[in-house]
Amino acid sequence: MHAFDVLGDPVRRRILELLAEGEMTAGELVEVVRAEFGISQPAVSQHLKVLRDNGFATVRPAGTRRLYAVDTRPLREVDQWLDHFRRFWTNPLQALATELARGQRERRRREPSADDRSER
């Protein structure tokens, strides 16, 4: 399965977001995903299997529990592929940041300072 097929599913993206915070048990993941998406435990397990089988998640036993974590290797590959396209949004975002900073400076210049307000 291609990385974008794996990441194209909102449930799998949410699982990866949760795992980006740190290791979680299958039960913890099921609890969150079931509440947010209304899907069953077996459905969540299938999404975890897709993530594992495609290298996006790892699992390790810890006693009777199974702890899941993000494996960043496939995400790095996606990031490298996206490098070809960053130029399409990097410059516009930098221009937006410049305009926002300019607007903040203008607002500060127009607002009376604390000293000016206390003199009134």
Predicted TM-score of the model (pTM)? 0.69
- Burial label for 86, CB within 10 Å (0-12, 13-18, 19+), is exposed
| Domain limits for position 98 | 85-118
Per the structure, how many domains does the chain have? Answer: 2
Indicate the SS3 state at residue 39: coil
For residue 50, which phi and psi values (nearest 5 degrees)? -60, -45
For residues 57 and 104, state if they share a domain: no
| 80, part of any domain | no
Over the chain, what is the mean pLDDT? 88
What is the rounded distance in angstroms from the CA atom of residue 50 to the CA atom of residue 96?
38
Residue 86: C-alpha distances to residues 20, 50, 97 (Å) = 23, 28, 16
For residues 51 and 107, state if they share a domain: no
| 79, part of any domain | no
* Residue range 41-61: mean pLDDT, rounded: 96
| 61, part of any domain | yes
For residues 63 and 98, state if they share a domain: no
For residues 104 and 47, state if they share a domain: no
Residue 77 pLDDT greater than 70, yes or no = yes
For residue 108, what pLDDT is reported? 87
